[in-house]
Amino acid sequence: MGRRAKHLTGDTKRAANQLSVTKYRQTSPAKTMLAAQRASLHRRKGAQASSTSAVTTTEPSQRRRKALQELPSPPSSLPPHIPCLPPLSAAIDEHAQLPLPDNEPLFREALFRPGALDLSDIGRWKREPPFEEDDDAMDPNSAAYLSFTRSLAFVLHGMRLREQNERNVQRRMEFEEGNWDELRDEVGALLEGWERALQVKYDPYHASREYTMLQHWLQWQARTIYHIYHLKFLMS
């Protein structure tokens, strides 16, 4: 004889199936599976919302990341840099990473409160060497003269860092707009100035201030080259 059907009508069969599904949903395996499905659905919705937001808004930081992604990949040991420029010399790398006098009051004053200092005669030391003849009447080897030279260097460090921060605003705009030529030209001009300044020589004993200012100028020339070349202006 054949096996008797458990459900004689379609309605009875559907009711039995629904009861079976309801009972299954109360079991631990079913609860775990349903929770995983809900979590997956939530993640998909979140990803879709993020994608929509990224399409409708274009922030400067997003443009910056996109421009960085389009740079040629450098060797893993080197940071990203502006393409089509030659590698920097070891001397530039060394000078660029010399420390700044962060804890010196005059440095901080020039950086944050330049109006509080008399900077009327400091321009001569910011120009490319060789410098104009120093007309200070003090003995170049006296303690007072050497102390004033150190103070002058602290002030110049603060001024140059402040000016670098201000210039970085324009550099970031050039980078985000893909204006590589402006950045390459700036580095090229700085490299030419660096090479010219290397030919200038001062006696550290008879021209101690000029010698100190030359070392300061070379440090900042190298620092600026390194700063642009390795895109450090994006981090400031």
Convert the pLDDT of each residue in 100-122 to its tens digit. 999 999 999 999 998 888 877 78
Residues 32 and 108 in one domain: no
Decide if 92 contacts 225 (C-beta within 8 A). yes
The pTM score is 0.67
Residues 17 and 122 in one domain: no
CA 139 to chain centre: 44
Amino acid, single-letter form, for residue 165: N
Decide if 217 contacts 129 (C-beta within 8 A). yes
CB neighbourhood size of 220 (10 A)? 24
What is the chain's pLDDT, residue by residue, as a tens digit (236 residues)?
Answer: 434 444 444 455 455 445 444 544 555 544 544 455 555 455 555 555 444 444 344 455 666 566 555 554 444 444 567 777 889 999 999 999 999 999 999 999 999 998 888 877 788 999 999 999 888 889 888 999 999 999 999 999 999 999 999 999 999 998 888 888 889 999 999 999 999 999 999 999 999 999 999 999 999 999 999 999 999 998 86
Residues 52 and 134 in one domain: no
CA terminus-to-terminus distance, the chain: 88
Residues 48 and 127 in one domain: no
What's the Cα-to-Cα distance from 85 to each of 102, 186, 230, rounded to whole Å?
Answer: 31, 11, 11
Q: Is 20 a domain residue?
A: yes
Q: Measure the CA–CA gap between 140 and 147, rounded to whole angstroms.
A: 11
Domain that holds residue 38: 11-57
Residues 94 and 131 in one domain: yes
Q: Measure the CA–CA gap between 23 and 42, rounded to whole angstroms.
A: 26
Q: Is 66 a domain residue?
A: no
Q: Is 222 a domain residue?
A: yes
User: Is residue 232 helix, strand or coil?
Assistant: helix
- For the chain, the domain total comes to 2
Residues 172 and 218 in one domain: yes
Quick check: bond before 105 cis, omega within 30? no
Residues 102 and 137 in one domain: yes
Residue with tokens 């550099």: 171
